[in-house]
Amino acid sequence: MKKIEAIIRSEKLDDLREKLDASGYTAMTVTEVKGRGAQKGILLEWRVGEYRVEFIPKVKVELVVNAETVDKVIEIILSVCSSGKVGDGKIFISSVEEVVRIRTGERGQKAL
Amino acid sequence: MINSGDTAWVLISTALVILMTPAVGFFYGGMVRKKSLLSTVMMCFASLFLISVQWVLVGYTLSFGPSKAGLIGGLQWLGLIGVGQAPNPDYAATIPALAFMLFQAAFAIVTPSLIVGSFVERIKFGAFLIFTSLWSLLVYYPVAHWVWGVGGWLRALGALDFAGGTVVHVTAGFAALAVALVIGKRIGYGKDNMEPSNIPLVVIGAVLLWFGWFGFNGGSALAANGLAVSAVVVTNTAAAAAALVWMVLSWLHRRPSVLGVATGAVVGLVAITPASGFVDPLSALAIGGIAAAISYYMIVLRMKLRIDESLDVFACHGMGGLWGSIATGIFASQAINAAGADGLLFGNPGLLWVQIVTVAVTAVFSFIVTYALATLIDLIVGLRVSENEELVGLDISQHAEVA
């Protein structure tokens, strides 16, 4: 089992959720985060001139899937969230040792 | 002879001007970082209750009491003794003396709240209370007496200040610059993001100020008459012209900033204040529009000089009030107000000279006295919170509350 953490542009969240839903990936956790990458900060207007905001609001989407389907999910994320411009975000993938469904106590793939 | 219409209008205007002090709190509060939002709102609110009490005890008599050599009011009306329901024809013949007293209280209250913008996010609340009470005693009451008190020396000179461009805005603006120099920069100024906590709150503050200003300027006619209407018309016009010019300047720079237009509107209101009872609407367009450009570029300069006069009280109120007072000497017309005077454009350069002298005296007086007062308070009790208290924010460190 793999955990996919995708940090994406906030405005892409609805489209991504819809595409993932359509492919059967209904479960996910979404967090509003702030961060920076190559884009660094952005300039916002003050009453005169501007000031730099160093961390930009983004959305982090987390889902845990079967190892075999990781590439499929990555493909979906890339197709929805890539605009080709700096600031599109990143995807991190890591292994998950165990999953437990709290309601039933089921473990492993059955619990996904 | 009491006139019910006049009395009603002055009472309504009083309420409108009282609303402006918490409005300044929202206007400023939205511009500081979230960790000191409540402290900023609190300092303006504190001006309301602190000066209300002081005004009843000593402020009114020092400002408007029988003149001592044109310099300060006598103590005959201490605790409002002798200030009653009958009119005082020296100031307003058709409303109760108590109505005039409370209307004037609202001006004494809002003036120190304007200065708050210069030392936000780093002043001890206790030191602020001491500063505000002593500043009113040493700067506001004397200047109010000089310009507005019967027998006041600047009034005798022929100075025109319809609603407080000099008495309120020049005193507050130059005091703000002085106290900012004494207290010093916020930690991280010029390096950290000083991100405004809530721009919609700034806009709410600005529109409440715009609303309240109809009482500030319109009420200064002290009667429900044509002059009051004229003052309200030029007030709205100048605010609009200034917001428009600010929007254009901001847009030419990059984008039309919301924070910018809210600031512009307030600057227009400041500038029209001294002139509001003496000029026509076309003059108001010029006064407001030029004020916006003056304050805009003064902020640019202030930022280049790296002075942390945090919310630009000097640029907006000091320069706006200075320009408006001088503009009164240019655009004033007796066709608008027979009790006023003609300005430069109507063939009387003498008024312009009087206005310049009045502004210069007030600015220098306010700057010097405030600088000395702030330095003294800093030596005796300390103006600034500790470094740790400043980093945590004044909401937690001064009030143990969060916004």
Per residue in B364-400, pLDDT (tens digit) is: 999 999 999 999 999 999 999 999 999 999 999 999 9
Chain B within 8 Å of A34 (Cβ-Cβ)? Answer: no
* Structure-block tokens of residue B129: 């209370």
How do strand A90-95 and strand B67-68 relate by DSSP bridges? unpaired
Q: What angle do the packed helices B349-380 and B141-148 form, to 10 degrees?
A: 170
User: What span, in angstroms and rounded, lies between the C-alpha atoms of B170 and B163?
Assistant: 12
Across-strand partners of A45?
Answer: A50
pLDDT tier, B213 (very low <50, low <70, confident <90, very high otherwise): very high
Q: Which of A47, A52, A53 sits opposite B259 (nearest CB)?
A: A47
**Has residue A112 got a pLDDT over 90?**
no
Number of domains in chain B: 1
Q: Which of B193, B259, B303 sits opposite A45 (nearest CB)?
A: B259
pLDDT in tens, B299-343: 999 999 999 999 999 999 999 999 999 999 999 999 999 999 999
Chain A residues near residue B31 by CB distance under 8 angstroms: 47
Question: CB pairs below 8 Å between A and B: how many?
Answer: 40
Chain B within 8 Å of A84 (Cβ-Cβ)? Answer: no
Find tokens 């709240």 and name the residue: B113
CB within 8 A of B365, min separation 6: which ones?
A: B139, B142, B143
* Domain of residue B361, CATH code: 1.10.3430.10
The predicted pLDDT at position B38 comes to: 98
Q: Which of A45, A48, A53 sits opposite B193 (nearest CB)?
A: A53
**The amino acid at B217:** N
Distance from CA of B255 to the nearest CA of A (A): 7
CB B257 to CB A45 under 8 A? yes
Percent of chain B with pLDDT over 90: 99
User: What are the Cα distances from residue B103, in Å, to A55, B55, B221, B278?
Assistant: 48, 11, 11, 20
3-class state of residue B243 by DSSP: helix
How would you classify residue A40: left for phi > 0, otherwise alpha for psi between -120 and 50, otherwise beta?
left
Chain A residues near residue B296 by CB distance under 8 angstroms: 48
User: What span, in angstroms and rounded, lies between the C-alpha atoms of B149 and B169?
Assistant: 17
Distance from CA of A19 to the nearest CA of B (A): 35
**Has residue B193 got a pLDDT over 90?**
no
Which class would CATH give A2-111?
alpha beta
pLDDT in tens, B19-37: 999 999 999 999 999 999 9
Find tokens 């059967």 and name the residue: A24
